[in-house]
Amino acid sequence: MIIEPKVRGFICTTAHPDGCAAEVERQIAHVRETGEIDEGPRRVLVIGSSMGYGLSTRIAAAWGAGAATLGICLEKEASGRRTATAGWYNTAAFHRAAREEGLWAETLNRDAFAPETKEEVVELLREKLGPLDLVVYSLAAPRRTLPDGSVAKSALKPIGDPYRNKTLDVSTGEVSEVEIEPADQREIEETVKVMGGEDWQLWIEALSDAELLADGAITLAYSYIGPELTYPLYREGTIGRAKDHLEATAGRLDDRLRPGGRRALVSVNKAVVTQSSSAIPVVPLYISLLFRVMKNRGLHEGCIEQMGRLFSDRLYHGGEIPLDAEARVRMDDLEMRADVQREVRSRWDRVTDENLEELADLEGYRRDFLRLFGFEVDEVDYGRDVDPHRSW
- The answer to whether residue 234 is catalytic is yes
**Closest by Cα among 336, 265, 273, 324 to 303:** 273
Closest CA to 220 of 152, 100, 137: 137
Amino acid at 319: G
Cβ proximity of 365 and 291 under 8 Å:
yes
Element (H, E) at 151: strand 151-153
Q: State how beta strands 11-12 and 7-8 pair.
A: antiparallel
Distance between CA atoms of residues 352 and 339, nearest Å: 22
- What contacts 199, CB < 8 A, 6 or more positions away? 112, 113, 137, 139, 144
Rounded distance between C-alpha atoms, residue 111 and residue 372, angstroms: 21
* Among 55, 33, 165, 43, CA closest to 104: 43
- Name the catalytic one among 53, 137, 224, 234: 234
Residue 331 near residue 309 (C-beta atoms within 8 A): yes
Taking the C-alpha atoms of 117, 47, 71 and 256 in order, what is their torsion angle to the nearest 10 degrees? Answer: -80
Q: Provide the pairing of β-strand 68-73 with 43-47.
A: parallel
- Name the residues annotated as catalytic: 234
